[in-house]
Amino acid sequence: MRLTHYKTNLSGNKDIPTIYGRVFLSCLTFLIVCLIPGIFFAFSEADLARLLSSKECKFCNLHNADLSNAQLSGAQLSNAILNGAKLSNANLSRANLSEAFLTNADLSGANLTDAYLVNANLSNANLSDANLAGANLSGAIWTDKNKCDKNSYGECKRTSLDGTPSSPAGSPSRGMNAPEWVPGGR
């Protein structure tokens, strides 16, 4: 039994599939489009296990991983892919998240005290109720997709076009004289 039936078109070509062939190809395309992103963008179970056992996971793929309430104080996550990760209420104090990808991550209520987020990408991340006291955000891409200035501690400092600071008033900050600190001496 054939899946497609062919008919002759006006030019005499018998290689044009009928509606049955088109429906089959449409269904196949739909399945590929729906399944492929899940295969390529799922987090690595091995990386997750390594992080939870050793708190060391440089360059890990933790895309969309659920790390809510995780105790990751002092964790080494530099260059990790944490896009879309659920890190709500996680303890990431003194964690090294330098150059990590945290786009669309949920960091609501997370403890990021003294975290090292230099050059991290926080585009569209949810930082509501997150504790950023003393966090080094120098060069980080902030939630509004703007880059934080050098010496951004506890808040993302930016300079406006007229040269005045544009940081929100009253934000906690360590100030300009804060010492350079890298978690774990790395």
The CATH classification of domain 56-186, taken from the options 2.60.120.10, 3.30.460.80, 2.160.20.80, 3.30.70.360: 2.160.20.80
Domain parsing of the chain, residue ranges: 6-40, 56-186
**Which residue type sits at 49?**
A
Please tell me the predicted confidence (pLDDT) of residue 185.
44
Rounded Cα distance, 152 and 167, in Å: 10
Please tell me the predicted confidence (pLDDT) of residue 158.
84
Please tell me the predicted confidence (pLDDT) of residue 103.
95
Question: What DSSP letter does each residue of 16-79 carry, written as one string?
Answer: EE-HHHHHHHHHHHHHHHHHHHHHHSSPPHHHHHHHHHHSB-TT-B-TT-B-TT-B-TT-B-TT
Please tell me the predicted confidence (pLDDT) of residue 160.
56
Please tell me the predicted confidence (pLDDT) of residue 46.
87
Please tell me the predicted confidence (pLDDT) of residue 162.
55
**Ranges of residues in the chain whose predicted pLDDT is under 70:** 1-21, 25, 27-42, 159-186
